[in-house]
Structure 1
Amino acid sequence: MKDTIYSINGPVVTVRDTDSFGMMEMVYVGNAGLIGEVIHVSDDRTTIQVYENTTGLSVGEPVKGTGAPLSATLGPGIMENIFDGIERPLGEIAEKNGAFIATGVHVSSLDETRKWDVTVTVKPGASVRGGDVIATCPETSIITHKSMVPPDVSGTVIWAAEDGAYTVTDPICKVKTPEGEEKTLCLAQRWPIRVPRPVQDREVIGRPLITGQRVIDTLFPIAKGGVAAIPGGFGTGKTMTQHQLAKWCDADIIIYVGCGERGNEMTQVLNEFRELEDPKSGKPMTQRTVLIANTSNMPVAAREASIYTGITLAEYYRDMGYDVAMMADSTSRWAEALREISGRLEEMPAEEGFPAYLPSRLAAFYERAGCVKNLNGSTGSVSVIGAVSPQGSDFSEPVTQNTKRFVRCFLALDKSLAYARHYPAINWTISYSEYYEDLDPYYIANVGEDFCKMRGRMLGLLSEENKLMEIVKLIGSDVLPDSQKVTLEVARVIRVGFLQQNAFHKNDTYVPLSKQMWMMEAILHLYDRAVELVGAGVPVSAMSEAGLFDKLIKVKYEIPNDKPEMFGQYNQELDAMCAELLEKQKPLNAAKAEGK
């Protein structure tokens, strides 16, 4: 019998002496019809990676081709859903098979029985091309779904349905192509997950992805359409940082991919998002969120596909004109899946056993982010934030180093900060953002002219503190002059009062840019006044005893986000305290002068 299994090596299956399959073709493997993908073709052997558990699979079972690449189904019903790595809805699978996914389960990615309240936007005789919207429907109370002409289809509409209730497979319109072929278009379409969806043009990045997290928005901003990496060892808060970004960033849609992470973490994400209120609409966060869960106990090959499934869904909603943020947690587990499959294929290993094509795969994934002009003339963006899990917090390992080559924002998490309960545990000395020049015009126009200057001064103070701490560790802080002690005290205020953020406090879990600027201004005002006091002979110890520095640390809790005018009152109180310290110092200065 032709096209049967010759060998099985974990998720890797081979078929001998066949010319039935093409490269990257999706196939069904074995009597159970396991989903697989052709990854190598030669004259005597075809190699397939299987996206399901191959336990019980036997030599001699048939392999059937589909004639199409592994594709995602794109249409209404994606929002509020939770899928596995190859876009199978886990809720429907659980109803059929229980808590554990059985092999050979075939379910539609989208509910084909549910009817949507559709408004058809094209009429017979209209000329359409790829990307044009043919129908809209309310996918959730927050998101309006826009069904589009597939990118590879164009022509004249010869029939269009009336407004009404339709399923994702019902015909919406028929298009006659220039070649004379008739194409029937539905609400849903399919697209190969490894192929980027085409765009009209890539636009210059110029808007920040506002997250409400001060250390990110102010010091290390991420651009809309940009890419960022969050590397950190075990327990440093990668997942929790991504949770905060997913909850609060100003993207329209969130795609959260749990790639090889623990199942209880994905459960936590699901439960939290159900309870969390969307700050834009007041509705549950799940109404603009898609979860792709390929946990550590799921088949390793599907882990490799989950990243591509997530970015394809993100591009689809981008084509509708939405700003999409994709969280990939974590790309290290994805790279480990590449390494495992590469080992079973007996490919020549590169550094630490990873395949030699690891950098090109990372580049191809991150390059699918961007701010673009879509085929239909709308603008949208895909921002990608990938977590990296270097073993032993070693940032010199291959995945972290290669990721740094392709991202422009590097938010390095520090184990010592996490253990000291400083969250987010982003190390300000080794983190960086290359988006300053792109985003500074936005900050100047929308927040304030001095925003960028103040950020530079704060980074300078933190850098100066880092140098001084080397001396302090050796001989203590008592030997430092008061001018340097002021730097240390104000840097502590920046660290504890600005960079550290409490996710459970209503005034601190999310902070708008306006309040971030007022906080920076207050901190630098404190620094300037403290320097003046030191110049007038007031010791830093007297300032500390008066509560000059500790007062500002509490401001983040005491001043609500919607009352920035209270910072003016605070600055007046600060000036009064400084004047009082100065008055107390005058007699001492006079006594010193007389003593001389």
Structure 2
Amino acid sequence: MGKQKGKIVAVNGNMIRVRFDGDIIQNEVAYVIDGEKRLKAEVIKIQGDIAFLQVFEYTKGIKVGDETEFSGKMLSVQLGPGLLTQIYDGLQNSLPDLAADFGFFLPIGAEIDAIDGEKKWEFTPVAEKDQTVTGGNVLGWVPEGAFEHKIMVPFDLTGEYTVSEIAGKGTYAAKDRIAVIKDKKGASVDVTMIFDWPVKIPIEAYKEKLQPKETLVTKVRIIDTLFPIAKGGTYCIPGPFGAGKTVLQQITSRHADVDIVIIAACGERAGEVVETLKEFPKLTDPKTGNSLMERTIIICNTSSMPVAAREASVYTASTIAEYYRQMGLNVLLLADSTSRWAQAMREISGRLEEIPGEEAYPAYLESRIASFYERAGIVKLFDGSVGSLTIGGTVSPAGGNFEEPVTQGTLKVVGAFHGLSRERADARKFPSINPLESWSKYKSFID
């Protein structure tokens, strides 16, 4: 699809309206051109020849008549070796690399590749020449920390392909071609270690989805004995401010019986996120004795960052988590906090002038919450191995009121509810889970 152009006709905060010619698609990435700066944006609504874009940066200085360029690609993340240990923002820009390139004060429009394409990896082929493959099949693997990072056929290549070339065992850069596959018409596709996947489309390159049947051990006694979590299940931790939601999530991330932990700090206070970033490299993984960061990915979008990027960060984390599940690993995704993600949706919905629902949240709030938690689950892959993705989200209801829409929408779709209590937190009883309000649907899994 060729790149389309457009002109801005209205600006409302980080929401802009653009008149365009040609064809564009929902969730397409666009760039607002302000002099030499290019501000990343996403198409969230199309009405006739007017596109509504949410800009992922502050829109100071943008004016009517400025040019917009549409990329032809949906908002996507880069998938491949090198994701582990990384600290990203909600759009998968590496924060340490941004700091190294631009310093602490980032210019508007700063963007950087998520994965270093020049980095060398020791590739071991698994697929053979003339083998029939499809999206999600394994071509080979590279060592990434303590794991075998499987190099797979990109998930969007559905249908049958034949391997016409496969690289031998050796060292290759991530962007090097490691295989060539052909479809039934003879068209060739070059495969590298890196490929893109749209964040708002769940990865479904597996044989079947299984029912959760095994307890996820967290080493937190009140959870494991009274309100257990299942591998591939979902749970939420609602509680008032200061009740210990973030600390409980951090304890879980250190000790849970999983291979990979992905933390989405979505709209949390910057001080808490910085504390997490400082602490995690110093913590020891009880399994390996190495740094906990070796099996962790952190996605940061603090409350001081633009609202649109906060909404995208949850989808970015979900997609990366599903990618590691495709390798037969057990993944834990911790979203802190889904309330701030919902508030970002509310702000965007207000700017779109949509009919508000309860407490001005959009009418589709519950379906969005459900679609996020539905990305959890245990899957049986094409090679027979099994991977799981467990999702835990904190909810920050104003005043600790569990009757508000985000908490109620979450309760309908999760399998366990760990309600935190202000009284128990004030009495220094941590974790401050209230045993009279909490529950779990996974109790039958306890041995």
Q: Normalising by the residue count of structure 1, what TM-score does the alignment of the two structures yield? A: 0.72
Q: For residues 263 and 135 of structure 1, what CA distance do their matches in structure 2 show?
A: 40
**Deviation at 1:151?**
2.3
Q: Does residue 236 of structure 2 align to residue 229 of structure 1?
A: yes
Contact 1:134 1:146 in 2 (8 A): yes
Q: Is the 8 A contact 2:128 2:163 kept in 1?
A: yes
1:44 Cα deviation after fit: 3.5
Q: Which amino acid aligns with 1:192?
A: P
Change (3 A) 1:2 1:95: closer
Partner of 1:537: none
Q: Are positions 1:182 and 2:185 aligned together?
A: no
**Partner of 1:49 in structure 2?**
54
Residue 306 of structure 2 corresponds to which residue in structure 1? 299
Name the counterpart of 2:107: 102
Q: Which residue of 1 aligns with 2:223?
A: 216
Of 1, 4, 7, 2:7 maps to 4
Q: Is the 8 Å Cα contact of residues 135 and 187 (structure 1) preserved in structure 2?
A: no
1:514 aligned partner: none
1:158 equivalent in alignment to 2:164: yes
User: Distance in 2 between the 1:151 and 1:15 partners?
Assistant: 32
Judge conservation of contact 1:230–1:385 (CA < 8 Å) in 2. Answer: yes
Distance in 2, Cα, partners of 1:387 & 1:374? 30
Distance 1:2-1:387 versus aligned 2 partners, 3 A rule: closer
Q: Does 1:26 align with 2:29?
A: yes
Long gaps (5+) in structure 1: 444-596
3-state SS of paired residue (1:33): strand
1:490-569 counterparts in 2 under 5 A? none
Contact 1:205 1:223 in 2 (8 A): yes
* Pair 1:196 & 2:199 matched: no
Aligned residues of 2:267 and 2:341 also touching (Cα < 8 A): yes
DSSP-derived class of the 1:239 partner: helix
Q: Residues of 2 paired with 1:271 and 1:359: CA distance?
A: 35
Which AA in structure 2 matches 1:424?
Answer: P
Mapped partners of 1:134, 1:191: distance in 2: 18
How far apart in 2 are the matches of 1:166 and 1:380? 27
Q: Provide the C-alpha distance between the structure 2 equivalents of 1:304 and 1:30, rounded to a whole number of angstroms.
A: 23
Aligned-partner Cα distance in 2 for 1:102–1:327: 30
CA contact (8 A) 1:227 1:369 kept: yes
Kept after mapping to 1: 8 A contact 2:226/2:443: no
Determine the structure 2 residue equivalent to 1:35. 40
CA pair 435-341 structure 1, distance change in 2 beyond 3 A: same
Matches within 5 A, 1:340-419: 340-419=347-426
| Correspondent of 1:312 among 316, 319, 323 | 319
User: Given the two structures, how large is their TM-score scaled by the length of structure 2?
Assistant: 0.96
Deviation, structure 1 residue 106: 2.4
The code of the aligned residue for 1:196 comes to P
Shift of 1:29: 1.6
CA 1:17–1:165 in structure 2 vs 1: closer, same or farther (change >3 Å)? closer
Q: How many residues align?
A: 439
Q: 1:304 Cα deviation (Å)?
A: 0.3
Q: Which has the higher strand share?
A: 2
The structure number with the bigger radius of gyration is 1
- Cα displacement string for residues 355-400 of structure 1 (whole angstroms, at most 9, x for unaligned residues): 0010010010000000111234321010000000000101111100
| Alignment pair present for 1:124 and 2:129 | yes
Q: Whole-Å Cα distance in 1 between the matches of residues 353 and 28 of structure 2? A: 21
Whole-angstrom distance in 1 between the partners of 2:5 and 2:227: 58
Give the aligned partner of residue 452 of structure 1: none
How far, CA to CA, are the matches of 1:368 and 1:418 in structure 2?
32
Q: What SS does structure 2 have at the residue aligned with 1:273?
A: helix
Superposition deviation, residue 2 in structure 1: 5.7
Is residue 2:328 matched to residue 1:289? Answer: no
- Contact kept, 8 Å, 1:115 with 1:166, in 2: the verdict is yes
1:411 is matched by which residue type in structure 2? H
Identity %: 44
Hey, what does 1:61 align to over in structure 2? 66
CA RMSD of aligned residues (A): 1.3
For 1:181, the aligned partner's letter is A
Counterpart of 1:41 in 2: which secondary structure? strand
Aligned partners of 1:249 and 1:413: how far apart in 2?
A: 19
Deviation string, structure 1 residues 191-226 (Cα, Å, up to 9, x no partner)? 110000013211121111100000000000000000
CA distance in 2, matches of 1:29, 1:220: 48
Residue 98 (structure 2) pairs with residue 93 (structure 1):
yes
Higher relative contact order (CA 8 A, sep 6+): 2
Greater percentage in helix: 1
Q: What is the CA-CA distance between 1:17 and the residue it aligns to?
A: 5.0
The CA deviation at 1:65 is 1.2
